[in-house]
């Protein structure tokens, strides 16, 4: 019996419930491909799954992890689309934090020539969300102003790059948690940066663009503030963003990194703000999904790609702690 290294979730909840252990190395069953994993990616879905969201239906312990890249090791006799040696990315409900994983062929994405295995992990999932945010949900237009939360994160950084590489006149104020991250965001083209740890972003945005026209007495005036807010953190920002979103602006809420928070729409009812609590899941199988795939493939072939931050798999607990506190930068990847 051949064994492999794997990260188990022993029980739902705390990060301490993750442990590195051993598992039996899988063999391909009918309709399966076994991938020798070299790198595994961390995304917010891993944190949700660890906490039993949206469901605790899967019995613990189990091997955690939802995305990885590696080399096809073996295939079942009835699999013809893939062969040993193919470079692939896998997306799965679990099992990616291990040296080998048995998956269905439909869960595989081919890694293009010229793209490294760790680089690939930054794009098919995170860039899809960034694409939807900008093109599908907010329908961003030239000349608009944008507030971008968690701008140095896996999705936020890609959203900033899209706005600065694919548009010519989008003004972005980027929020992050450290001066080091702010320096990186400036290099990526952010017009204004705000340190959420030391600055009040509502006050800072108001100083940059002036106070927004708000309430019944202002009629249709659209002064100050931003046209679009991209918010993947929620928490107490749900009581603040509306203060800087101008009349008839758009508010895209796509994550809960800072907690679920509460949203009281009565405070900005006269401002006509469109509130969009969206997830990529709702767009699976749609024409927009195909458009995002085309966009991602083109980006992988023609754009300068980011270099993810790589950690050893044994650091899973501590890295997830940092990830939840918003202390990591860009895409987080584990060397398996």
DSSP 199-268: S-HHHHHHHHH-PPP-SGGGTT---SSEEEEEES--GGGGGTGGGTEEEEEEEEE---TT------GGGG
Q: What is the pLDDT of residue 257?
A: 80
- What is the rounded average pLDDT of the residues 129-141? 98
- Three-state secondary-structure class, residue 158: helix
| Higher per-residue confidence, 305 vs 55 | 305
| CA distances (Å), origin 109, targets 97, 163, 306 | 17, 26, 19
254 has pLDDT over 90: yes
Pick the CATH number of 126-282 from 1.10.150.530, 3.40.50.300, 3.30.2290.10, 3.40.50.720: 3.40.50.720
Residue 61, pLDDT above cutoff 90: yes
Domain with CATH 3.40.50.720 in the chain: 126-282
Separation between Cα atoms, residue 55 and residue 47, nearest integer Å: 13
Say if residue 238's pLDDT is above 90. yes
The pLDDT of residue 249? 97
Q: How much is the mean pLDDT over the chain?
A: 96
| Residue 325, C-beta contacts closer than 8 angstroms, at least 6 positions apart | none
Is the per-residue pLDDT at 53 higher than 90?
no
Q: What is the mean pLDDT of residues 314-327?
A: 94
Domain with CATH 3.90.180.10 in the chain: 3-122+306-335
Residue 123 confidence (pLDDT): 97
CA pair distance 213, 246, nearest whole angstrom: 7
Please give the pLDDT value at position 46: 95
Q: What pLDDT is recorded for position 326?
A: 85
Which of 75-79, 175-179, 326-330 has the least mean pLDDT?
326-330
Please say whether the beta carbons of 247 and 212 come within 8 A: yes
CATH number of the domain at 3-122+306-335, please? 3.90.180.10
What average pLDDT does the segment 12-38 reach?
97
The predicted model gives 199-208 an average pLDDT of 98
């Amino acid at each position: 019996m051949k064994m492999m290294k794997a990260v188990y979730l022993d029980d739902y909840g705390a990060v301490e419930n993750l442990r590195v252990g051993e598992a039996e190395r899988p063999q391909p069953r009918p309709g399966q491909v076994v991938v020798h994993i070299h790198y595994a990616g961390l995304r917010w879905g891993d944190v949700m799954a660890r906490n039993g969201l949206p469901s605790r239906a899967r019995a613990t312990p189990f091997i955690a992890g939802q995305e990885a890249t590696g080399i096809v090791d073996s295939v079942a006799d009835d699999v013809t689309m893939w062969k040993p040696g193919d470079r692939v990315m896998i997306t799965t409900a679990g099992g990616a934090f291990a040296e080998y994983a048995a998956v269905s062929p439909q869960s595989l994405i081919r890694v293009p020539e010229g793209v490294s295995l760790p680089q690939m992990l930054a794009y098919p999932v995170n860039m899809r969300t960034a694409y939807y945010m900008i093109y599908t949900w907010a329908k961003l237009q030239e000349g608009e102003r944008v507030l971008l939360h968690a701008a140095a994160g896996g999705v936020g950084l890609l959203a900033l790059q899209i706005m600065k590489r694919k548009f010519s006149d989008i003004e972005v104020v980027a929020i992050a948690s450290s001066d080091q991250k702010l320096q990186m965001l400036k290099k990526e083209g952010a017009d204004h940066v705000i340190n959420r740890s030391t600055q009040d972003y509502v006050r800072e945005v108001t100083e940059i663009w002036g106070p927004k026209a708000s309430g019944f007495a202002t009629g249709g005036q659209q002064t100050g503030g931003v046209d679009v807010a991209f918010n993947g953190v929620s928490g107490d920002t749900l009581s603040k963003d509306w203060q800087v979103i101008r009349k008839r602006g758009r508010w895209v809420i796509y994550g809960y990194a800072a907690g679920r928070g509460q949203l009281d729409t009565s405070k900005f009812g006269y401002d006509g703000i469109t509130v969009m609590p969206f997830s990529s899941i709702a767009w699976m199988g749609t024409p927009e999904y195909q458009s995002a795939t085309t966009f991602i493939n083109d980006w992988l072939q023609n754009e300068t790609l980011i270099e993810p931050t790589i950690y050893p798999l044994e650091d899973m607990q501590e890295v997830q702690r940092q990830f939840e506190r918003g202390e990591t930068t860009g895409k987080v990847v584990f060397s398996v």
